[in-house]
Structure formats: structure tokens, C-alpha cells
Amino acid sequence: MTVTGPLNLIIIVGSVRDHRFGPTVAEWFIGEAGRHPDFALDVVDLAETALPGVLLADHAAPGEVPGAVGELGRRLADADAFAIVTPEYNRSFPASLKTAIDWYVDEWQAKPVGFVSYGGVSGGLRAVEHLRQVFAELHTVTVRNTVSFHSCRDRFDDRGSPIDAAGCRAAAESLLDQLAWWARTLRDARAERPYAA
């Protein structure tokens, strides 16, 4: 079954601390994703999303789900693809991102996930490798290509543009093309038959 219409891509900004660098990376990537013809964009900034740090009990009633969790869950459920903008903290990804991931189950399933990472010497690549393991548990497909920025504050100019604009654009296009292929393929497959987790 072929589903028509733009693919709904949710870009999740994973860092939440004061004076974070995340928005610089995210705003650049949002601009790149906005140029891609296949996607309609939604942006979730975890710093502006009041997800509780403590999860519900397994037997919690639907009425106990906090409002912010329900609201974000509806947006994630509507997504065809996810792009995670993540820094690296202590060789992994930030706790804010793990909390957001753990609040949801079905919302992630049978959808592709791409990564834009940044950090110090590692460019966030170790955070991405940990995220691939986590997202495997949630029945997602993580796309191979990534965009990464090592020594991230040195990689952008004063206006928030990457210094290697052409190289970064090529990397983003490659990631977005792979994400679109999987998003379209899996959207059609989900419409054909529900995913059996």
C-alpha cells in the first residue's frame, strides 16, 4: 500500500542545560531538513518539554499519564521519522534524552531514526553508538549516515553557520535521503499490516 503526502519528520533537541550549544546545531539542521522535498517538520526541544523524570508504574491508569507526556506522545505517534540532535556527555548521550525515550514504546516502533551529534574530541559519535543500541530495543531502524561535529564550538561561525558549509550540507543531505527512504518504506509497510513487536 502506498501512502501519499509529506513524511512527518520530528527533530528532537536532546540537551537541556543552561547555555547549551544544542540550539546552534539544531537550528542549522532544521534549515537543512526544511530544504528536503519529502519532509514536513516538527521540532521537539526537550528543554521546553516538561517530561517528568520519574516514570509511571506498569499498572498506571491512562488518566495518570502527565499532560506533557500525553501531548508529546501524540506528536511522536504521528511521526514517520525521527532525527535526534545529541551532544556527548561522559561517552554517552544525555539523561534528558534517555528520559524522553523511555516514556514511550509504540510511538517509536517500525520507524527510522537519524542522528546529528556534536561534542568535544569525539563529535558525539559515542553518544550515537549508545543511542543505536537503545533504539534497537524500541524496534526502530537507525540510519547509517550521521552528521557529527567534533570540537563543536569551533565548527560554527558567529551567525550559527557551519564553517564547512558545503561538507556539512552534503552530510545532512545524505542522512536525510536515507531517512526519507526508510520513512516512506516503513510508512507503506505499517499501512499494509500493523507491525508485530
Q: Which residues pair with 11 in a beta bridge?
A: 43, 83
Site residues for ligand FMN per CB under 6 A: 15, 17, 20-22, 87-91, 119-122, 152
Q: How far is the CB of 124 from ligand FMN (least distance, A)?
A: 6
Q: How far is the CB of 142 from ligand FMN (least distance, A)?
A: 20
Is residue 112 within 8 Å of 182, Cβ to Cβ? yes
DSSP-derived secondary structure letter, 61: -
**112 versus 123: smaller Cβ distance to ligand FMN:** 123
Q: How far is the CB of 149 from ligand FMN (least distance, A)?
A: 9
Residue 10 CA to residue 30 CA, distance in Å, equals 10
C-alpha cell at 7: 513524511
C-alpha cell at 38: 519529502
**149 versus 182: smaller Cβ distance to ligand FMN:** 149
**23 versus 66: smaller Cβ distance to ligand FMN:** 23
